[in-house]
Structure 1
Amino acid sequence: MNCIFPTTRRVLIALGVLGVLAAPAVAETMVTDATGRSVTIRDTSRIVSIGGAVTEILYALGQSDKIVGIDTTSLFPPQAMKEKASVGYMRQLSAEGVLGLRPSLMIAIAGAGPKEAINVLEAAKVPLVVVPETFSIEGVAQKVAVIGKVVGEEARAQCIVRRLNADKDALTKIRAGIRAPKRVLFVLSFINGRAMAAGKGTAADGIIDLAGGVNVMSDYEGYKSINDEAVIAAKPDVILTMKRGGADDLTAETIFAGPAFQTTPAAATKAFVSFDAAYMLGFGPRVGRAARDVADALYPELKSAQLPSEQPSGPCIE
């Protein structure tokens, strides 16, 4: 019995992906993805990468020449946005746009959507591997291992994982030297005069924890608009935010101009920290360095020289 919905079937037929793809004869690889599905990969010659960390990992694994499409969160390395076709924002995908690139393989970070588009992609005769997303160094290592197996670069993946583990050990030593953890408020943006702040289960929460800080908004999940009373009650020592590279980037002047923020300990010392969004929140292979840089900003009195020296952003070759 054909279980593909009529609309989905028409889309797939129109795109020519319901039939058997003429893939090069290569060894099959089977992986279990983040959804629990067993996915068989036969051809990695045309990859659509959905998720900034996925794209960064593929480049680090030396697979850039096989990528034919990326999403708009794939900001690193910078040449990716210049070299590759865009399939749009990872949470607002068009199945037609993805399949129109004639991929032989699709790799998407967990949380990509909408669900209707993912259903169409899963129904296509093109392997879709959903990669798990957890905001920790262990989570990044898992992403690297899965993608490495998918593209047949397990040795390079192991090299990157070893780097990540070295970063993790060094960060543990750094955190051991912190006597009074800083209370950190991550502000994503302002909407109607209210701060949109990061709660638990977010990339911001993950990087604050790695850097040895305390997220003052850990009593809720995700991002939430908070009122002035919540800002005052949180008593943050540091305001953390991200740079998008546009005119709407938040500045210390903008933040501390708010009456509620003026009352905080952060305002007293003008403790404002901002990093590139993809670097700080991407949770790709650079996460260890990003966490060290945040730790240096939170605790300038500490030395983080025990972290591994800066490593190349290119392929991990040993």
Structure 2
Amino acid sequence: MSAAQPSRRAALAMGAAALALAPGLRRAFATEPARRIVSIGGAVTEIVFALGEQDRLVGRDATSTHPPEAEALPDVGYMRALSSEGVLSLRPDLIVAAEGAGPPEAVALLREAAVPFATIPEGHDRAAVAAKIRAVADALGAPERGAALAAEVDAALARAMAQAAAPDGQSPARVLFILSMQGGRVLASGRGTGADGIIALAGAVNAVDAFEGYKPLTDEAVIAAAPDVILMMDRGEGHEAARRDVVGHAALALTPAARAGRLVRLDGLLLLGFGPRTPQAISVLASALADAG
């Protein structure tokens, strides 16, 4: 490739920068608050709405489905499969993205386009929820409102966790979180995931702790996990269809959870978002686990 023929990446970067700096879009190093914000990540968008700053949003990613009003905004695609051109076509003067947004090449191009880009740290415990709220508020230039919202949510978290804790002398429920069962393979949560975090906050224990992240389980590992309850995301396919998949699985059918029909399905963003609704997620999950028991 000659010097006169720039690489595709360089051409994209130049085009993105030209679009981002189009006349009237924004002034470099502007001191006024951003007015055209693209929010990437369901919990990030929830926080923007909870802060009362939704009028500044001009776009959101596909995981941003709550509150319902968010879905009226232009959709820039799934947060891990973004198109830099699609994001920049909305002429943002600020991009606020959850940690893990990607792919890396798209994020690199967005950063090169001279549009402020704030990355919001992820986490799966009580402290992480407050930190996420404060980080979004800081990015939006609303630290005082962020501190107030973080304190409010943290107090609600403390109450929900206290109510969810197993009574003295009672063993906490063993919960197996199944992300998917494609092809009959059980893809389950180990340590360090959002599922692992919300299970702990709800006063239960993860039935799988031999690995980190999400991994497929062998039939032997499924049986050895011996879950009291099976937890899944509600994907809208119908509760009975999911139940048939679980009880009809050769290994799952042998677990205490499947034998007793203890299957809990909850909204994925509520369950795993770790945003302002986390206290509600804890209460809903703890109640569902109690009912399943």
Q: Same fold (TM over 0.5)?
A: yes
The alpha-carbon distance between structure 1 residues 216 and 176, as it changes in their structure 2 partners (threshold 3 A), is closer
Local SS of the residue matching 1:85: coil
Partner-residue secondary structure (3-state), 1:299: helix
Q: Which residue of 1 aligns with 2:15?
A: 14
1:199-241 superposed Cα distances (whole Å, 9 cap, x missing partner) = 1121111110100111112221211111211110110000011
Tell me how far apart the structure 1 counterparts of residues 21 and 269 of structure 2 sit (CA, whole Å).
38
Paired letter, 1:156:
R
Report the counterpart of residue 42 of structure 2 in structure 1: 52
In the alignment, which residue of structure 1 is the partner of 2:102?
Answer: 113
User: CA distance change for structure 1 residues 67 and 265 in 2, over 3 Å: closer, same or farther?
Assistant: same
Question: 1: distance between equivalents of 2:190 and 2:13?
Answer: 39
Answer yes or no: is 1:149 the counterpart of 2:150: no
**CA, structure 1 residues 103+250, in 2 after alignment: closer, same or farther (shift >3 Å)?**
farther
The answer to whether residue 275 in structure 2 is matched with residue 274 in structure 1 is no
Counterpart-to-counterpart distance in 2, 1:246 and 1:278: 16
Map 1:73-222; keep pairs closer than 5 Å: 73-81=63-71, 83-174=72-163, 175=165, 177=167, 179-222=170-213
Asked whether the 8 Å contact 1:49–1:55 carries over to 2, the reply is yes
* Residue type at the aligned position of 1:87: V
| Greater helix proportion | 2
Q: What do the CA deviations read for 1:51-104 (whole angstroms, capped 9, x no partner)?
A: 0011111111112111111111111112211x2111111111111111111100
* Residue in structure 2 matched with residue 306 of structure 1 by the alignment: none
Tell me, yes or no, if the aligned pair for 1:20 and 1:125 is still in contact at 8 Å.
Answer: no
- CA shift, 1:143, in A, is 1.0
Structure 1 residue identity aligned to 2:12: V
- Cα RMSD for the two superposed structures: 2.5
- Residue in 2 that maps onto 1:307: none
Stretches of structure 1 that go unaligned for 5 or more consecutive residues are 29-41, 303-318
Structure 1 residues 55 and 167, CA, compared in 2 at 3 Å: closer, same or farther?
Answer: same
Query: CA offsets per residue over residues 296-315 of structure 1, 9 Å max, x none?
Result: 1223499xxxxxxxxxxxxx
State the Cα distance separating 1:248 from its structure 2 match.
9.3
Partner residue in 1 for 2:3: none
* Alignment gaps of 5+ in structure 2: 1-5
Give the direction of change, closer, same or farther, for the CA distance of 1:148–1:18 in structure 2 (3 Å limit). Answer: closer
Normalised by the size of structure 2, how large is the TM-score? 0.89
Change in 2 beyond 3 A, CA 1:18/1:249: farther
Distance 2:240 2:260 in 1: 21
Contact 2:247–2:259 (Cα < 8 Å) also in 1: no
Sort the Cα spacing of 1:234 and 1:250 in 2 relative to 1 into closer, same or farther, 3 A: farther
Counterpart of 1:95, as a letter, is S
What's the counterpart of residue 314 of structure 1? Answer: none
